[in-house]
Amino acid sequence: MAARSPATILKALWQLGPRAVGQYSLYALQLRSGWLRAQTPAGGRPQPAGPITRLVRPAGPAALRKLLGKQAKSVLTEADEVLRGRVRLFGGESRPLRLDPGGHTQHWTAYTGALPNGSDIKPVWEVGRMGWATLLARAYWLSGEERYAEGLWRRVEQFLDKNPPNVGPHWSSAQEVALRLIALSFSCSVVAEASATTPERTQRLSQALAAHAERIPPSLRYAQAQNNNHLLSEALGLWTAGVALPQHPNAEQWRATGRTHFIEAIRRQVAADGAYSQHSANYQRLMLQLAAWASLLAAAEGQPLPGETLTRLRAACTWLFGLLDSESGQVANLGPNDGAYILPLSLLPFSDHRPALQAAAAALGLPGLKPGLWDELRLWLGLDGKLTATRKRTTARSPLRLESGDTWAYLRAAHFDGRPGHADQLHLDLWWRGLNIAHDAGTYLYNAPSPWDNALSGTAVHNTLMLDDAEQMTRAGRFLWLDFAQATVLQHSPRRAAAEHDGYRRLGLTHRRSVQANPREWVVRDEVLGDTAGHRGRLHWLLPDWPWRVAGDTLHLRSPKGRISIQVEDHTLSLLRAGKRQHGAAAAAPTAGWVSHTYASKQPALALVVELEDDALHSITTKFVFPK
């Protein structure tokens, strides 16, 4: 929490609540006083060696090979890449797999949030989440070749040697420790019968899992203060250790603490309608992946998840299904997207949400999608035979989705109970024939020199109307928004929606947006209610980087599936791309005209901008026209 002045502290205390601020303050005190360092000594405490419970039994190799067909070779190809010392982070390009901490050998308390040189810590953490280990385990299971199991163990041993407990950046976040614990537990289960899995290696791994579990409780207050995916992950890490290490002296305490915190976190973080408190499609997917893993732990200990927890999780799964584009498998890139994708057990790309949704549906007893390549994650988790019905395609009323023919849209209209990730009220995401026409910019980077320090979370890059160059909410830190903008849904049917938000109440103005879905033409009307004299507006649409032409008040795009026109009636258009102006007179900020589909990656996009003032703000009409 980035509180920068006494006034900000008081505002955060009032708006976030004394519970969150108090827990964070206590964590900060424990960190600065040296208490956390004393509780987590460098090198860790001696751990007893013991057996490891096999938590996962994937579907048989033959069933998986049948599902994957010729693409099964791709799993081996990617695993061979890891054996050659290469890895793909956040679903991106191949890069060297670096298992050592790069000279960073201080106690973990020296690495909270960033590396000492200020560079982004997330690429380092991503290696420590061990997606590469699960890939080697999959290759062994599919092929039966010992070289993959041996390669897995050697790299795990190298990682443990280079990153002793509580030393270096890989131990600085208890969430990262917990996710690594889960990945190791899965990988160990898959290669349990390999010749490379010797008793000595199993004993060392049991000690390593215990050391990971011991790192989590001392800083759990930080996760409780955040009340987000950190708390879910850390609770599940403890629960996993408690079930996987039944003979450890702390096993029962870890299991009980983790299960209790996980269940309570779901109650607090998932709304009755299924919306997740972080207001992020990617974090909602992460939460559902964690829920699928939790279902395995509950089954292993013979104690099902409580009915209320299942009800919330089923609603969350249904909610995310409502954001799914059935043709591409992608969802609206809503809110923060830091590339989180634990247990990446699918050949489908990072952006495809069907594997996680199919696995979650199976784990939670919901209808799933028709059989397809997206069943791979479900089968790796041993959830084969769990789907009892096929999901019917229906228009979801929550989230705010509209549909007409082969086009659909999502209108962002949130009521914030938890902390917002982006200032994006009344953003519109528009899809046509599997193509994201009007899209969200994503995240790109959290920690980088300005302007790329989480810059894509602001109002200016979203498909909405910005007034007087002001954010919809008060930015109080890199990840902290205060003075929440709250939206009210005025109307919602499959082909029409209307909503407004109060983020400009300090200006005496209200932004209202209505969307009408017609077979070939979508009409978006923006209105500013109140006295607009002396005020300015900036309407923004982020579009794919396709060949374009401007004719008067209309932009023509040549998409791979036909020509599309975007008309802003009776207004002058400006077009920005990759931080530079291509047409018109609008100023081009360095962050304008970019889109980030996954973390640490950005690509040029077209930003259509219309600048308005005074009476022109009363009503602005945008039309998206699609070919027959």
Q: Which of 301, 205, 313 has the alpha carbon at shortest distance from 259?
A: 301
pLDDT (0 to 100) of residue 503: 97
The two beta strands, 407-411 and 474-475, are unpaired
**Which ranges of 456-548 would DSSP assign to H, the alpha helix?**
none
Any idea which residue has 């939670």 for tokens?
364
Any idea which residue has 């609540």 for tokens?
17
Write the DSSP symbol of residue 273. T
Asked whether 356 and 343 are in contact (CB, 8 A), the reply is no
Write the DSSP symbol of residue 617. G
Cα–Cα distance between 347 and 339 in angstroms, integer? 16
Q: Which of 104, 6, 15 has the alpha carbon at shortest distance from 474?
A: 15
Concatenated DSSP letters of 20-41: HHHHHHHHHHHHHHTHHHHHS-
**Which ranges of 191-306 would DSSP assign to H, the alpha helix?**
199-215, 220-226, 229-244, 251-269, 281-300
Contacts of 123 (CB under 8 A, 6+ apart): 89, 600
3-state secondary structure of 311: helix
Cα–Cα distance between 253 and 210 in angstroms, integer? 12
| CA distance to 11, 264, 317, 339, 561, per residue, from 232 (Å) | 27, 9, 16, 17, 41
Helices (H) then strands (E): counts for the chain: 17, 23
Count of Cβ atoms closer than 10 Å to residue 44 Cβ: 19
Cα–Cα distance between 446 and 337 in angstroms, integer? 10
pLDDT (0 to 100) of residue 434: 96
Phi-psi category of residue 446: left, alpha or beta, with phi > 0 → left and psi -120 to 50 → alpha: alpha
Q: Which of 591, 121, 593, 24 has the alpha carbon at shortest distance from 338?
A: 121
**Hey, which residues does 595 pair with through a beta bridge?**
603
Q: In this structure, which amino acid lies at residue 371?
A: P
Contacts of 186 (CB under 8 A, 6+ apart): 55, 56, 134, 137, 343
3-state secondary structure of 391: coil
Q: Is the pTM of this model over 0.75?
A: yes
526 φ, ψ to 5°? -105, 135
Cα–Cα distance between 384 and 362 in angstroms, integer? 8
Question: Which ranges of the chain have pLDDT less than 50?
Answer: 1-3, 394-397
Q: Which of 516, 487, 485, 484 has the alpha carbon at shortest distance from 499?
A: 487
| CA distance to 64, 329, 350, 380, per residue, from 374 (Å) | 12, 9, 12, 11
The dihedral built from the CA positions of residue 165, 168, 171 and 176, taken in this order, carries a sign that is: negative
Asked whether 495 and 483 are in contact (CB, 8 A), the reply is no
pLDDT (0 to 100) of residue 11: 78
Any idea which residue has 């200016």 for tokens?
460
Domains present along the chain, CATH in parentheses: 270-393 (no CATH), 401-625 (2.70.98.70)
Asked whether 561 and 436 are in contact (CB, 8 A), the reply is no
The two beta strands, 620-625 and 86-88, are unpaired
pLDDT one-digit tens code per residue, 58-92 = 999 999 999 999 999 999 999 999 999 999 998 88
Question: What's the N-to-C CA distance of the chain in angstroms?
Answer: 50
Any idea which residue has 């509209």 for tokens?
402
65, 67, 73, 79 alpha-carbon torsion, rounded to 10°: -90
Lookup: tokens for 136: 């080697």
Q: Which of 267, 189, 264, 182 has the alpha carbon at shortest distance from 216?
A: 182
Asked whether 342 and 232 are in contact (CB, 8 A), the reply is no
Cα–Cα distance between 579 and 584 in angstroms, integer? 14
**Hey, which residues does 417 pair with through a beta bridge?**
none
Q: Which of 606, 625, 519, 512 has the alpha carbon at shortest distance from 568?
A: 625
273 φ, ψ to 5°? -85, 0
pLDDT (0 to 100) of residue 398: 60
Phi-psi category of residue 69: left, alpha or beta, with phi > 0 → left and psi -120 to 50 → alpha: left
